Amino acid sequence: MRRRKAPVREVLGDPVYGNKVVTKFI
């Protein structure tokens, strides 16, 4: 699990992140 200081747009566009990281960002 890597924490990146990127906007939610980039997280959603990254398949490596997945819903788990997206939920934490939101």
**DSSP letter, residue 23:** H
State residue 7's pLDDT score: 59
Domains: count for the chain:
1
Range of the domain at 4: 1-26
State residue 3's pLDDT score: 62
Integer CA distances (angstroms), 3 to 11, 15, in order = 10, 15
State residue 10's pLDDT score: 58
pLDDT per position as a tens digit, 1-26: 556 665 565 555 556 655 665 556 55
pTM, rounded to two decimals: 0.14
Q: Which residues contact 20 (CB under 8 A, 6 or more apart)?
A: 1
Q: Which residues contact 25 (CB under 8 A, 6 or more apart)?
A: 8, 11
